[in-house]
Structure 1
Amino acid sequence: MERRQQVKKSRLSADDWADAALAAIGAGGGLAAVAVEPLAARLGATKGSFYWHFGNREALIEAALARWVETDTEQIIAAMQTEPDPEKRLRRLFTEVTRPAKHDPLELSLLASVGHPQVAAALKQVTERRIGYLTGLFTELGFTDAEARRRGLMAYNFYLGHTQLGHAVPSALPSAAEFPGYVEAVVGALLQRA
């Protein structure tokens, strides 16, 4: 994602370091890529800059994961709330998160690192928040609590499966021209009442 592209600045912030850590994780290095010296080189900074903001590597990982939760979940949900109609919100959400998912390997890299306690906690937080948000949309659309939860879980599974497929076999996904119809079919299936 564009926000993860690093630009040399005269004074780096903790967010710059967190973004660099996320970019390194997503670039295929996983958590092992979160190392002070390579990140400092990438940022054109010194290790002193790192230690100005963080006491150790684990503190950077924690900050990076918090930034990921904020930018890839909370900010997206906040942006969706500008649409008053829950059905339009659901369609917009699917369109906005599924299209770029195949180009951003960060989430899959984090899922592959679920054995790390900090990553596991962040993934749990994000998963619960996202499914909760989707469940709320289906509740607003008139589904019972149990049915809304079931559909929220199915919607989130679709997103994760789409993301995985986009990285494993991108040719299996619809073309850009087919994408709107693809999203419409998925949302239509999720909204269908028995």
Structure 2
Amino acid sequence: MDVPPRKRLSAQDWVDAAYAALGDGGVAAVAVEPLAVRLGTTKGSFYWHFAGRDALLAAALAHWERVETEAVIALGDTQPDRLARMRALLVLALEPPGASVELALQPTADHPLVAPVLRRVTRRRLEYLGTTFRDLGFSPEESERRSLLAYTAYLGHTQLMHATPDLLPDLSGYVDTVVAALTRGGCPTCG
């Protein structure tokens, strides 16, 4: 009986699987044997690309940072209209899988590999939001407050999406309401 040849997996295949596992079950779900089964391969394939589980976890966290922070910010930067940028950022941030990874990482925020990435991602996002609010004409102090409010709205929505998705409103209308609330009062360029 002929056995079909196994697909050769790349390191990125393993990272993608680990990233999906992070969103499904957090740090504990990034385990070599279950990922090998999911990918239809052996643990030997894993060790061809990674020295150990921590190296894979670090790569998955770096992937999350790139895809769900830097790429989202880059897409936001393509919006010349500042309010459209704010809206686009919220829509992109609230879409899975990035929001599910964010939520799954929260219980392990003190993990030695997770903590620095989560801190860096949070700081980067808050700084970018602050810049967006300053671009709208808010003072630096008010921009900082509003960026924190925007980020907590994102985290709260993410939690609700996980715990009670049936209670969430239409995303489009919700995002419009959040943007209006965040830019109301004191915004010289918001019209």
Query: What range is the shorter-chain TM-score in?
Result: 0.7 to 0.9
Cα deviation, residue 131, structure 1: 0.7
Residue 39 to residue 158, structure 1, CA distance change in 2 (3 Å): same
Cα deviation, residue 102, structure 1: 8.6
**Residue 117 of structure 1 aligns to a residue in which SS?**
coil
Identity of aligned residues (%): 53
Hey, what's the Cα distance between the residues in 1 that align with 2:111 and 2:105?
A: 9
What stretches of structure 2 of length at least 5 have no aligned partner? 1-5, 187-191
1:187 maps to 2:179: yes
Matches within 5 A, 1:104-183: 105-174=100-169, 176=170, 179-183=171-175
Number of residue equivalences? 181
**Residue 145 of structure 2 aligns to a residue in which SS?**
helix
Q: Encode CA deviations 1:15-35: one digit per residue, 9 max, x unaligned.
A: 21111112122222x222222
Hey, what's the Cα distance between the residues in 2 that align with 1:169 and 1:86?
A: 31
Amino acid at match of 1:39: L
Cα deviation, residue 101, structure 1: 4.5
1:68 maps to 2:68: no
Cα deviation, residue 10, structure 1: 2.2
Hey, what's the Cα distance between the residues in 2 that align with 1:152 and 1:75?
A: 19
**Residue 78 of structure 2 aligns to a residue in which SS?**
coil
TM-score by length of 2: 0.88
Q: Encode CA deviations 1:78-114: one digit per residue, 9 max, x unaligned.
A: 111111121110112122322x249952221111111
Cα deviation, residue 122, structure 1: 1.0
Q: Encode CA deviations 1:157-185: one digit per residue, 9 max, x unaligned.
A: 000000001111222211x3xx3332211
2:76 is aligned to: 80
Runs of 4+ in 1 over 3 A off after TM superposition: 101-104
Asked if the contact 2:15/2:56 (under 8 Å) is kept, the reply is yes
**Residue 162 of structure 1 aligns to a residue in which SS?**
helix
TM-score by length of 1: 0.86
Q: Which of 31, 36, 58 is matched with 2:32 structurally?
A: 36
What CA RMSD, in Å, does the superposition of the two structures yield over aligned residues? 1.8
What stretches of structure 1 of length at least 5 have no aligned partner? 1-8
